[in-house]
């Protein structure tokens, strides 16, 4: 799709309304209490402002409905909904929609290193995860074969995270083919990949065959924190989508976030190659890093992921070194360090990073004692996530929980990927892994 052809259509109805309202001299006898003094564009659902979850009942002609249609056009979806509560709300919504159309089925096949918003949605909706293990700890990429092997008569949906925190991606087209051959929807947590639609090669899940997908616009596009999309490709989920989103969402979505989502449509259409250019600059930086002797893990266009263990170091040491030179990374752990770029990254950023890396060869982040390699935590499931979560519970010091049933998702953040899930039995390996991540106590079913 040539986005530049869409420039005329990419109006900014939300922004235009907010600006006009801010320039009017009406007395604000409506929420919020700051009456425009904090930010004149920050309003509530006044006359003409539409209402995020009622765009359909407002006749589909309001400013939010129009803006969402613009986003839908850009992303090539059947329908796109804005979320002011991140991908977290979009993930809850897509699982709600799957359940609404799921004829009583309740199993969701999911990659084990899914974000906690997935398991929390399972708790809320009474769904049961059926885990597929990626090859490596914390990587999310799962194979179509491993998914197909798990499909049974209770399978409601397949849920995968692609792109993951390290920048790993799954073969979405092949997984979509497997899902569709069994009549099962594929739901993709694309929180890190909203930009993929505009990358040098369009690898967005909507393009590759996902039925629904959650994008954190705020992670890589010029959108305020909290702004996200729920994209829907499958018509059967469209009609109930707003109602499903309203189930767990705030009834006061931020117009400042809606404004930035609205303007993002225009920005993308005005500079149709900007995102691809940033991606190319990240690719060039990766080449420089490799030339300088850094070892990189394979990652998506917007991430540079240093495999620090490969050069006898840790992600923490690398992050510390970068911080000393004024570079704050997105994520670091014992093994890797991740730099995340986005639509706002500048040439000065790229040049500075290159200079710092050149002046600090991998040898400068050598560490004496490397941590042991990561292991998968595999354990038995004692009960469903919802049953465990809503049972009576206490918090216990982590090393006293071995053999007991975990009552919540325990996830260091970032990356927000639970090490142990509600309903799972805590093993000695799990307890040690939690302790090593600095987690002192965890909720246990009593």
Using CB under 6 A, list all residues that contact ligand PLP.
86-88, 115, 117, 161, 165, 189, 191, 216, 228, 416
Residue whose CB is less far from ligand PLP, 68 or 330: 330
DSSP 185-226: -EEEE-TT-GGGGGSSS---HHHHT-SEEEE-HHHHSS--TT
Residue whose CB is less far from ligand PLP, 161 or 220: 161
The least distance separating ligand PLP from the CB of residue 238, rounded to whole angstroms, comes to 22
Identify the CA nearest to 60 among candidates 298, 188, 242, 297. 242
Around Cβ 370, how many Cβ atoms within 10 Å? 14
The least distance separating ligand PLP from the CB of residue 298, rounded to whole angstroms, comes to 17
The least distance separating ligand PLP from the CB of residue 214, rounded to whole angstroms, comes to 7
Position with the least CB separation from ligand PLP: 86
Residue whose CB is less far from ligand PLP, 68 or 189: 189
Residue whose CB is less far from ligand PLP, 169 or 353: 169
The 3-state secondary structure of 337-384 reads EEEECCCCCCHHHHHHHHHHHHHCCHHHHCCCCCCCCCCCCCCCECCC
Region class of 403: left (phi > 0), else alpha (psi between -120 and 50), else beta: left
Residue whose CB is less far from ligand PLP, 186 or 228: 228
Which helix or strand (DSSP H or E) is residue 66 part of?
helix 63-75
Report DSSP state, residue 325. Answer: T
The least distance separating ligand PLP from the CB of residue 412, rounded to whole angstroms, comes to 12
Q: Measuring CA to CA, how many Å separate 409 from each of 2, 388, 403?
A: 43, 10, 16
The least distance separating ligand PLP from the CB of residue 221, rounded to whole angstroms, comes to 12
Residue whose CB is less far from ligand PLP, 148 or 300: 300
Q: Contact, 374 vs 136, CB < 8 A?
A: yes
CA-CA-CA-CA torsion for 55, 56, 62, 65, nearest 10 degrees? 70
The least distance separating ligand PLP from the CB of residue 406, rounded to whole angstroms, comes to 20
The least distance separating ligand PLP from the CB of residue 225, rounded to whole angstroms, comes to 8
Measured in degrees and rounded to the nearest 5, phi and psi for residue 232 equal -125, 130
Residue whose CB is less far from ligand PLP, 105 or 115: 115
* SS3 category, 395: strand
């Amino acid at each position: 799709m040539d986005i530049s052809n869409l420039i005329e259509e990419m109006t900014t109805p939300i922004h235009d309304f907010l600006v006009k309202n801010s320039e009017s001299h009406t007395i604000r006898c409506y929420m919020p209490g700051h009456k425009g003094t904090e930010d004149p564009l920050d309003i509530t659902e006044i006359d003409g402002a539409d209402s995020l979850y009622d765009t359909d009942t407002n006749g589909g002609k309001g400013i939010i409905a129009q803006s969402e249609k613009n986003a839908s056009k850009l992303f090539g979806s059947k329908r796109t909904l804005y979320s002011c509560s991140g991908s977290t709300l979009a993930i809850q919504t897509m699982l709600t929609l799957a359940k609404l159309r799921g004829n009583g089925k309740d199993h969701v096949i999911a990659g084990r290193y899914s974000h906690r918003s997935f398991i929390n949605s399972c708790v809320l909706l009474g769904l049961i995860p059926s885990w597929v293990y990626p090859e490596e700890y914390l990587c999310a990429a799962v194979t179509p074969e491993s998914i197909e092997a798990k499909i049974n008569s209770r399978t409601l949906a397949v849920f995968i995270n692609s792109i993951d925190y390290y920048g790993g991606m799954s073969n979405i087209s092949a997984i979509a083919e497997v899902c569709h051959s069994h009549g099962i929807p594929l739901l993709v947590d694309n929180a890190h990949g909203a930009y993929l639609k505009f990358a040098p090669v369009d690898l967005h899940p909507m393009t590759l065959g996902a039925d629904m997908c959650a994008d954190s616009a705020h992670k890589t596009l010029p959108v305020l924190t909290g702004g996200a999309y729920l994209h829907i490709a499958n018509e059967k989920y469209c009609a109930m989508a707003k109602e499903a989103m309203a189930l767990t969402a705030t009834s006061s979505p931020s117009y400042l976030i809606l404004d930035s989502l609205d303007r993002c449509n225009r920005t993308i259409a005005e500079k149709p190659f900007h995102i691809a250019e940033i991606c190319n600059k990240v690719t060039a930086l990766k080449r420089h890093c490799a030339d300088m002797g850094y070892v990189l893990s394979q990652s998506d266009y917007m991430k540079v992921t240093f495999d620090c263990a490969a050069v006898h170091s840790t992600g923490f040491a690398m992050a510390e070194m970068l911080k000393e030179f004024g570079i704050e990374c997105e994520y670091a752990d014992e093994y890797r360090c991740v730099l995340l770029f986005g639509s706002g990254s500048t040439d000065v950023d790229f040049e500075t990073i290159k200079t710092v890396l050149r002046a600090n060869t991998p040898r400068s982040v050598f560490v004496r004692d490397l941590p042991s390699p990561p292991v998968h935590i595999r354990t038995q499931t004692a009960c469903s996530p919802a049953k465990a979560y809503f049972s009576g519970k206490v918090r216990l010091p982590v090393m006293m929980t071995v053999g007991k049933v975990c009552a919540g998702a325990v996830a260091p953040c970032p990356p927000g990927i639970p090490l142990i899930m509600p309903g799972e039995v805590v093993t000695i390996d799990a307890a040690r892994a939690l302790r090593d991540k600095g987690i002192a106590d965890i909720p246990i079913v009593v």
